[in-house]
Amino acid sequence: MALSGIEIYKLLPGGLKPPHPKANCKECGFPTCLAFAMKLAAKQAELASCQYVSEEAQEKLAAAAAPPIRLIKVSSNGHEVAAGNETVMYRHEKTFFHPAGVFVRINDSDGLDAIRELVSTADEYKVNYVGMDLAVDGFAIKSTGDAATFSAGVEAVRGATKRPLILISADAAVMEAGLKAAGDSKSLICGASPENWEAMAALAKSHKAPLTVGGSTLDEMAELTDKIKAAGVEDMVLNPVVTTLPEALGVWTQLRRLALRKTFRPLGYPIIAFPSQFSADSQIAAVQAIAKYAGFIVLDRFNPADLYPLLVFRQNIYTDPQKPIQVSPGLYEINNPGPDSPVMVTTNFSITYFSVSNEVEGSGRKGWLLVADAEGMSVLTAWAAGKFDAERIAKTVKSTGIESKVNHRRLTIPGHVAVLSGELEDELPGWEIKVGPREAVNLPQYLKLME
Ligand code: SF4
């Protein structure tokens, strides 16, 4: 559990009884040990700035500073999926940091050619959403038979993708064959149970790979993570047995609370979810897993129609609610515009920008799009906050040099801010201000009428 400033102070030279001879020496850059302690508690100073803290105190402070949910990484060929290090129960409290890694499951019995084809297709899948490329994060290979079959299946997957892998088998000998076939990548071993944990922990240790820990109850999992940690494995992922949507929600919420509110270290690890195991509607289950609180999600099939909304949903959950997604302010060309092409203006909120540019681009019409710096807010929000006013729009017109690119002086503003047209004419003498549609979807028709 995080220590308060006073608790930290009691471990520093000034807080000892009797105080250390160097108490309040100011060498850390703060006037007193108490001031330094307060900064440490606020995570605005580094303990290393004081060289007079005893080893014992250092250990206590380091343990208190360790993240309540351990950061676990799986990686391969430059691709990495990280889970953990989360600090809040609810996204609006601060933000969620590490988006749940989405993996597609393959069975080693599917046939090697079919495996290669499916993995290649899923590996190439990519969608652009508000300027970001969304894709699957990796593949999970499940053993259905012996070590040779698993090894061949992992090799087939490895040959078709460079992304990280999750290897699924309860048999340590089979798992070892899979780990060898996976090569140098840092794969997630799935995994340990009360029956096989010693052999799985030995594999995780020798391959320096993270290990999932399964259990029917929280007590069972906590006991197991303690044993596995004692065996020398630090990187673990929790794999609680859940059979229904409500049960999954309850168990995962309990795990998050225990980690964050109680700093209960034995359960302070990310969670892996297999949506099809606890709901007939695996899409709904995957959505729940993304929202609360899976770090790794294994889908039992690759279906772009399911994947796209899931990845967009994940993106929305994991953006920082205090920082709107923005595009750079400036001048954007759509469909190679010329000097006669219309000039439009909008804000730099990503979704606003992409809504407008996609509509115009899709219509096949040419246009110049001025994107004003509205601190990442949408049109109406920015206008209400005073971030999208006549002065800012005029500044955008002048700073982008649009006047030298067109042979007309007509500027279309969003219909939602029609009220700005009078002020804009004062700010931009010689320009005719046109009021466009309120919604981007109506832009193609508006541009057609303008011709
Ligand atoms: S370096 Fe700072 S914290 Fe350490 S003894 Fe001196 S004043 Fe206290």
Q: Could you identify the atom of ligand 1 that is nearest to the CA of residue 14? A: 8
d(CA 408, CA 310): 44
Torsion (CA) 237, 243, 248, 251 in degrees, nearest 10? -70
The architecture of the domain spanning 72-318 is: Alpha-Beta Barrel (3.20)
pLDDT of 224? 97
pLDDT of 427? 95
Residue 291 predicted with pLDDT over 90 = yes
CA of 6 to the centre of ligand 1 (A): 14
Query: Which region among 51-55, 60-64, 71-75, 312-316 has the lowest average model confidence (pLDDT)?
Result: 60-64
pLDDT of 1? 57
Question: What tokens does 54 get?
Answer: 């005893």
d(CA 233, CA 72): 12
Query: Which region among 119-133, 158-172, 189-203, 372-386 has the lowest average model confidence (pLDDT)?
Result: 119-133
d(CA 113, CA 117): 6
Residue 393 predicted with pLDDT over 70 = yes
Return the half-sphere exposure (C-beta side, CA atoms, 13 A cut-off) of residue 437: 16
pLDDT of 64? 72
| Cβ neighbours, 10 Å, residue 107 | 18
Name the fold adopted by 5-65.
3-methyladenine DNA Glycosylase II; Chain A, domain 3 (1.10.15)
CA of 50 to the centre of ligand 1 (A): 5
CA of 17 to the centre of ligand 1 (A): 15
30 lines ligand 1 (CB under 6 A): yes
Residue 48 predicted with pLDDT over 90 = no
Q: Could you identify the atom of ligand 1 that is nearest to the CA of residue 26? A: 7
pLDDT of 62? 76
pLDDT of 6? 92
CA of 39 to the centre of ligand 1 (A): 12
Ligand 1 atom 4 nearest Cα = 50
Question: What tokens does 69 get?
Answer: 């949910």
Rounded mean pLDDT, 254-258 = 96
Torsion (CA) 344, 346, 352, 354 in degrees, nearest 10? 40
pTM of the predicted model, to two decimals?
A: 0.78
Q: Are 327 and 371 in contact (CB under 8 A)?
A: yes
pLDDT of 43? 67
Residue among 28, 38, 39, 47 whose CB has most ligand 1 atoms within 8 A, to mutate? 28
CA of 2 to the centre of ligand 1 (A): 21
Residue 298 predicted with pLDDT over 80 = yes
Q: In CATH terms, are 72-318 and 330-450 the same topology?
A: no
| pLDDT tens profile 314-372 | 998 998 888 778 888 999 999 999 999 999 999 999 889 999 999 999 999 999 999 99
CA of 46 to the centre of ligand 1 (A): 12
| pLDDT tens profile 222-238 | 999 999 999 999 999 99
Q: Which CATH class for the 330-450 domain?
A: alpha beta
Residue closest to 411 by CA, chosen among 362, 355, 372: 372
- Please, which pLDDT band fits residue 243 given cuts at 50, 70 and 90? very high
% of the chain residues with pLDDT over 90: 83
On average, the pLDDT of the chain sits at 93
pLDDT of 337? 96
Question: What tokens does 297 get?
Answer: 């999600």
pLDDT of 259? 93
Burial profile 349-386: b = 16 or more Cβ within 10 angstroms, e = fewer = bbbbbbbbbbbbbebebbbbbbbbbbbbbbbebbbeee
| Sole residue written with tokens 């190679």 | 336
Residue among 26, 40, 51 whose CB has most ligand 1 atoms within 8 A, to mutate? 26
| pLDDT tens profile 80-139 | 999 998 988 998 888 899 999 999 999 999 999 999 999 999 999 999 887 788 999 999
d(CA 353, CA 324): 12
pLDDT of 47? 85
Q: Are 325 and 100 in contact (CB under 8 A)?
A: no
Query: Between residues 132 and 157, which one has the greater pLDDT?
Result: 157
Rounded mean pLDDT, 301-320 = 93
Q: Could you identify the atom of ligand 1 that is nearest to the CA of residue 25? A: 6
15 lines ligand 1 (CB under 6 A): no
Domain range list for the chain: 5-65, 72-318, 330-450
| pLDDT tens profile 11-41 | 999 999 998 999 999 999 999 999 999 988 8
33 lines ligand 1 (CB under 6 A): yes
198 lines ligand 1 (CB under 6 A): no
Q: Are 239 and 272 in contact (CB under 8 A)?
A: yes
